[in-house]
Amino acid sequence: MDDSILRLRRSVRAFKNDDVDNELIKKIISTSCQSPSARNQQPWSFVVVKNKKILNDLASVSKYSAFLANVPALIAIVEKAPSSLTTPDMASIDLSCCASYIMLEATSLGLGSCFMGIWPRRDRIETCNRALGLKDGLNTFALIPLGYPLDQNSFYEKNDRFNDDLIRWEE
């Protein structure tokens, strides 16, 4: 397997004003739906945001989110109602896997992205739920802005973070 996409993915917070085609976003979401989930519960749904008013509302979610006002597109990962899930205690793990797939597929398509965690912070969840107009029982898990990186050098291979001391072998 070619691991170059895994090594190139970076958190990008500054984007060109260029539109991100809806078909590319659908491809990203389609790929993310292939991520693993406990008992195949697939606890996700998605809200794609390009609306500037909603992006401005989401930009107020935390002291780190102001850049969201200037992104061309954003995927909100929404947790389905816990009462509809077979293993709701595993949903956060499942949704994290889904988010990783979104960011990796975005990188493979030349788009920058950044993981913005919303869950488990109740204040952030409520702000996002309100801005996105979510029905009761649904909760925003994460926001992932998408766009073409402003900096052409956004995709570069990271320093290798691996260290043999991270592994303990039991043979």
Sorted by where each starts, the structural domains of the chain and their CATH numbers stand as 21-150 (3.40.109.10)
What pLDDT does 7 receive?
74
Give the per-residue pLDDT at 6.
79
Cβ-based neighbours of 123, under 8 Å, separated by 6 or more = none
- Render the burial of 143-168: b for 16+ CB within 10 Å, e for the rest: bbbbbbbeeeebbeeeeeeeeeeeee
The sign of the CA dihedral 144, 147, 151, 155 is: positive
What is the biggest distance separating any 2 CA atoms in the chain, rounded to whole angstroms?
57
Element holding 141 (H helix, E strand): strand 139-147
On average, the pLDDT of the chain sits at 94
> Amino acid letter at 110?
G
- Those residues of the chain that have pLDDT short of 70 are 1-2, 153-158
